[in-house]
Structure 1
């Protein structure tokens, strides 16, 4: 390496140890800037992905295309991680996404695929309970048989900053740095047609009340009902104990375009049918039928109900 006279004098004046410390400091600053740029790029990718259909039931199905190129970029250090499109626990619920490091992160660097869950800042955070406490399941899907998905689950640590109400666009990712050994990425069971599928399931069973499904019935074929479902928001007055004859209505103001009312599939003989289904499966426990037989003549005989 050729050193110019000015640099040579500088080395003599300040000495190599100080120069080394300066180099380390500069590297740390550069690394911090790279991480910041990566987060900004991740948010940009998320905003683009948000233009696609978003799931509001706590389930993310993430299709990662161009896998071979993305894996090369990860191995070379060009791209440290990828972010999924956002998904939600409900229309007014938590906003979340997934983050994957194809060449690993932390203790999984270079050997494992690291898969993480991210709590994002949402529009309705002020009305949600914090910290986030819902069970999270991370999955790498088997595209051949559908029977050998790789999965791991965890319950959030309520003391972790990752699950507090976000004060920036997204919290620190939390999950599984050792999710799967990178050898699985050579198996076409998981990588098929240069595509992998990641699934994230957030358990909302103890977060909201029962599902309500609203339907406009197809009177011709019975196969094309128009429907929408939602879980009641426990903070809305619509779902509190009524103090008058009825609460404020809640549902789907954009349920269906009025053009469907010109279709005899839904309007037949000047009649429409609406169906409302309330899921009570998680409302009560199982029924136990208990009988006491006080008739001596019926002892030992079965009774049908």
Structure 2
């Protein structure tokens, strides 16, 4: 345990074996929030790691399990990790120092290295090249999205905006939180000197189900925060990728309209810049000559 200002919150479900690999790597107090696992993991973890606070939930609430961990944390800053990831030595201490030095900093995103070979996550590369600049007094490039397993948040900022929205469950839940923190005036930055190691298992989950949930969450997030035109385009695109997701959105539409809260103009402008850069990158990729075989 090397950081007294940061608590690591890990949300998990039925990943006992992975936790036995990653929990020993954490260098700060850990709160493990279990999403109603039925593999016996919570009891085994509590026995094997008595310093870890294990919180057992009665149902699987997805990403919102992290909210419970943040509420229980007694430190000013909270780092998120997945059951297959951990923060590299020194990163949490450095994150706390940056938070101390920048009082309007609400979220710091680390550089993510994947697998034993330490491949750079493409999301980290995109953050480093984000076209919205570095705000005055900020420690790094501004961002408006993140990977949940690789951020440190200021506890008061996270709780003030409500944390992760339970209705989004998982897959793409980060976007709404990023928008709400930025709209509340908090800075969100990428700090590549912070490093997270991520060891995801080979894909084996239901990709169709994931695609449907991701499409639903993109549509709901747009309905909740983006201008009508942007929301309409987002719905058209996401529905093309997963028509079944429209059924899910229709079920939540009254709730989304009741909770609609458009973003401040400056945040919306930055999102448009990011969208334009993403589109330009896709177009460059399409124009790139195909490699010859042989």
Q: Same fold (TM over 0.5)?
A: no
TM-score (norm 2): 0.23
**Greater Rg by CA:** 1
In the superposition, the TM-score normalised over structure 1's length comes to: 0.22
Higher relative contact order (CA 8 A, sep 6+): 2
